[in-house]
Amino acid sequence: MGLDPATRAVHAGERRVSGAPSAPAIHLAATYLSAGDPAELPYAYGRHGNPTWEALEAALGELEEATALVFASGQAASFALVAALTEERPRVLFPHDGYYGTRALARMLERRGVEPAVVDLTDLGAVERELARGAAAIWAETPTNPFLRVQDLGALARLARRAGARLVVDNTTATSALQRPLELGADATVTSLTKAAAGHADVVLGSISTRDAALLERLRAWRTHAGGIAGPVEAWIALRGLRTLPLRIGRQSETALALAQRLERDPRARRVHYPGLAGACLELARAQMPRGFGPLLSFEVEGGAAAAEAVVRGSRLIRPGTSFGGVESSWERRARWKGEDAPEGLIRLSVGIEDGADLARDLDMALAALG
């Protein structure tokens, strides 16, 4: 029928037979009735597979027209992907300004033979020079967290192919509802479902999507043997959230753009970071994210840490706290986390689904703390 991926995601995993439940079951089994060769059975042991995972994986796969695997967290997914990619060549190019948890993981894996190289992925010349030194993969993240910089995925994919390397994209900020990196040449995407994909700040999960069958099997083996498996209850919760992802993130993107434009005009805020604002990356962002720019923005205030903390504590609607992508707006002074390279006065704001005018008034009230 030529259905939109968002429509297919709503119906993925359904059993369209008389009497079938409208929601998938939660399968809590650790073991399954089995005899004979386990390879010939759909399920034999809980670490190898679970029907509840498969319903979520089917929906995730529909959104990217690929095959998805779910993991215990975004970090567990990232670990499996780095491990699978570096089995033959140990070097991976990481963005210089991406999620600090990815950089921390890379540093830990460096002690186990992985060779992380940090590079500005918007500088294609620098990327090409680093690839010439040999690399298994480019690990892109766009828009980046917390600076919302946009990387040219098509150009990075072409550079990776010429060098015999892979392109991986952390798609957590945009999600597959707004950006489809596999269509732009990526070999795999990794997503923290904890954020906007599940969307209700009530579950910790991650996923990887790919169209490469050989890579998929290596990832499945890493999930099974390293044990980074998803709980069935968590998978069910994430699937329920994923069904409404396009609706939620569409509204969040619209409000986030309006608030970013408002902050850009406000003298109390400076250096507003959002892909939808006029600037060098706007046309690229429009091309890669045609349905919206996502729920996440950041801005800086004068006065450093103390001023930013006063703003964060001054709101009544926007909740102080970490993570992003939930239905409730939240924000934090990002540099409060050890290891984060953000300026002391940078506030990262995750826009929820509240009324945009209410959020604008709340933001104004919080900024009044600056005088």
Q: What are the pLDDT digits (tens) for 38-96?
A: 888 889 999 999 999 999 999 999 999 999 999 999 999 999 999 999 998 999 999 99
Residue 15 has pLDDT above 80, yes or no: no
C-alpha pair distances (Å), 125 with each of 58, 135, 364: 38, 15, 42
Q: Judge contact between 12 and 58, C-beta under 8 A.
A: yes
pLDDT in tens, 114-128: 999 999 999 999 999
- For 350: left if phi > 0, alpha if psi spans -120 to 50, otherwise beta; the answer is beta
Strand 91-95 to strand 67-71: parallel, antiparallel, or no bridges (unpaired)?
unpaired
Structure tokens at 320: 């102080």
Spell out a b/e string for 47-65, using b for 16 or more CB atoms within 10 Å of the CB, else e: eebbbbbbbbbbbbbbbbe
Structure tokens at 131: 């690839």
Q: Which residue type, as a one-letter code, is found at position 247? A: L
- Mind spelling out the 3-state secondary structure of 16-51? CCCCCCCCCCCCCCCECCCCCCHHHCCCCECCCCCH
pLDDT in tens, 281-292: 999 999 999 999
Residue 276 has pLDDT above 80, yes or no: yes
pLDDT in tens, 159-183: 999 999 999 999 999 999 999 999 9
Q: Which residue has the tokens 């390293």?
A: 226
The pLDDT of residue 334 is 96
CA 308 to chain centre: 25
- Whole-number Å distance between alpha carbons of 273 and 250: 19
- Whole-number Å distance between alpha carbons of 339 and 46: 36
Residue 1 has pLDDT above 80, yes or no: no
Is 248 in a helix, a strand, or coil? helix
pTM for the model stands at: 0.95
Mean pLDDT of all residues in 357-369: 97
pLDDT in tens, 208-253: 999 999 999 999 999 999 999 999 999 999 999 999 999 999 999 9
Indicate which residues carry an active-site annotation: 47, 99, 170, 195
At 18, is the pLDDT very low, low, confident or very high (cuts 50, 70, 90)?
Answer: confident
